[in-house]
Amino acid sequence: MISINTYNAISQSGLSLIEDDLNYHLNGNGDPDGILVRSKNLHDYDFPASVKAIARAGAGVNNIPIDLCTEKGIVVFNTPGANANAVKELVLANLIASSRNLYSAVGWTNSLRDSEGDVPGVVEAKKKEFVGSEIKGKKLGVVGLGAIGVLVANDALALGMDVVAYDPFISVDAAWRLSQDVKRAHQIEEVWAECDFVTLHIPLTDKTASFVSEGAFGKMKKGMTILNFSRGELVEEDAMAAALESGIVRKYVTDFPNEKVLAMKNVVPVPHLGASTVESEENCAIMATKQLKTYLETGNIKHAVNLPDVELPYSGKMRVTVMHQNIPNMVGQIATVLSGYAVNIADMINRSKNTWAYTMIDLDQKLADDEQAEVKQKMKNITGVVSVRLI
């Protein structure tokens, strides 16, 4: 029986793939083989030794201690692109809503509910205070051209915006999907200096924390609106509060409210709704569950953030999977362990990603139970190996 525990509200479409499978147990015990999660912070989580993989039903993995997991031999998956359309639609909605002062206007209109006066008359007299601007012809800066940024950039062009984008690490796939009419910013300073709106679509990492810093505010075109549907920590909050006070930033639309953010002037706080659509929750849950089950059942890896894609059709009678540091002579040492047993290698694959690697070996005979335990232990004893599975 394979055991999976879940955190957060995972769409039933994904849960059913576990519940309807007789080989699986959902939320049954404290020693799961796999974990399915959305935004729960796992940094202080005490991972039981049973955990082999974590699947994040979503894009951002800053809630998971990736390095620690890797050292413990835990594969961490996410679901690239599965919620991108949901975020894109909310960004476009907020570009227009913030430009038309929609939230304050609707908030004021709602406040008339208990009044006894002539509502249509009051509305007509007040509406001049909510006059907004059109986004057509305005310049949008898109920071980060991954799954979400590319969709936002292309659709903003279709709405008549002038789009400039910054991503020094853009993937070839994303570049193919990006409209040729999106202008390339070679330096982030070009985005700060020129744009009326800037939308952030980069992951939160040690390198991107405080990406929008005091220095950035000093270079901004006055009256800019900043949309942050990526992560709160990308923006230095004290500097943002000051920029809103001084009018350098006209509005700050953020999906990541906290006490400090709520105290800011001209902030539009959204309760982390970027990925909260039925469609996106289904996409993420199904993709995450399938990736997790595939790994637990076959060892094949797709969309892990700490290991490369590694896929091999199951061609033997038994499969050995080894997660290890990407250092010389690992495959040789793994094969040497197997050479002590009467088994042939039917197929094998070894792939690496940065400092980590993964080797899968299909054997044309099944090892006996006592041999399996021995092989596992011998491979675990190799310096640099963090996990060994026999499937």
Ligand X SMILES: O=C(O)C(=O)COP(=O)(O)O
The maximal CA–CA distance of the chain, rounded, in angstroms, is: 92
Q: Give least dist CB 38 to ligand X, A.
A: 3
Q: Give least dist CB 60 to ligand X, A.
A: 3
250 binds, among ligand X, ligand NAI, none (CB under 5 to 8 A by kind): none
Q: Give least dist CB 8 to ligand X, A.
A: 6
Q: Give least dist CB 157 to ligand NAI, A.
A: 17
**Binding map of ligand NAI across residues 260-289, x = CB under 6 A, - = no contact:** ------------x-xx--------------
**Binding map of ligand X across residues 260-279, x = CB under 6 A, - = no contact:** --------------xxx---
**Applying CB under 6 A, which of residues 39, 109, 179, 205 lies at the interface with ligand X?**
39
208 binds ligand NAI (CB under 6 A): yes
Interactions with ligand NAI, residue window 280-339 (CB under 6 A): none
Q: Which CB sits closer to ligand NAI, 173 or 245?
A: 173
- Tokens representing 257 are 């409210």
Q: Give least dist CB 58 to ligand X, A.
A: 3
Q: Which CB sits closer to ligand X, 14 or 32?
A: 14
The residue from 38, 56, 231, 324 that is catalytic is 231
What is the rounded CA–CA span in Å between residue 300 and residue 263?
48
191 binds ligand X (CB under 6 A): no
Q: Give least dist CB 61 to ligand NAI, A.
A: 7
CA torsion sign for 363, 382, 325, 60 is positive
Amino acid at 301: I
In order of 86, 95, 196, 218, 354, the CA distances from 133 in angstroms are 24, 11, 11, 24, 47
Q: Give least dist CB 363 to ligand NAI, A.
A: 36
**Binding map of ligand NAI across residues 54-73, x = CB under 6 A, - = no contact:** ----xxx-------------
Q: Are 54 and 24 in contact (CB under 8 A)?
A: no
95 binds ligand NAI (CB under 6 A): no
Q: Are 321 and 359 in contact (CB under 8 A)?
A: yes
14 binds ligand X (CB under 6 A): no
Q: How many CA atoms lie within 13 A of 77 on its CB side?
A: 31
Q: Is 311 a catalytic residue?
A: no
Q: Are 75 and 304 in contact (CB under 8 A)?
A: yes
146 binds, among ligand X, ligand NAI, none (CB under 5 to 8 A by kind): ligand NAI
Residue closest to ligand NAI, measured at CB: 146
Q: Is 250 a catalytic residue?
A: no
Q: Which CB sits closer to ligand NAI, 69 or 253?
A: 253
Q: Is 129 a catalytic residue?
A: no
**Applying CB under 6 A, which of residues 5, 6, 38, 151 lies at the interface with ligand X?**
38
**Applying CB under 6 A, which of residues 60, 80, 269, 308 lies at the interface with ligand X?**
60
**Applying CB under 6 A, which of residues 59, 142, 148, 244 lies at the interface with ligand X?**
59
The residue from 100, 272, 351, 389 that is catalytic is 272
- # binding residues, ligand NAI (CB under 6 A): 31
In order of 82, 127, 186, 254, 317, the CA distances from 154 in angstroms are 18, 32, 19, 21, 49
Provide φ and ψ at 171, rounded to 5°: -80, 160
* Contacting positions for ligand X (CB under 6 A): 38-39, 58-60, 83, 274-276
* Contacting positions for ligand NAI (CB under 6 A): 58-60, 80, 83-84, 87, 143-149, 166-167, 169-170, 174, 201-204, 208, 229-231, 255, 272, 274-275
Positions marked catalytic = 231, 259, 272
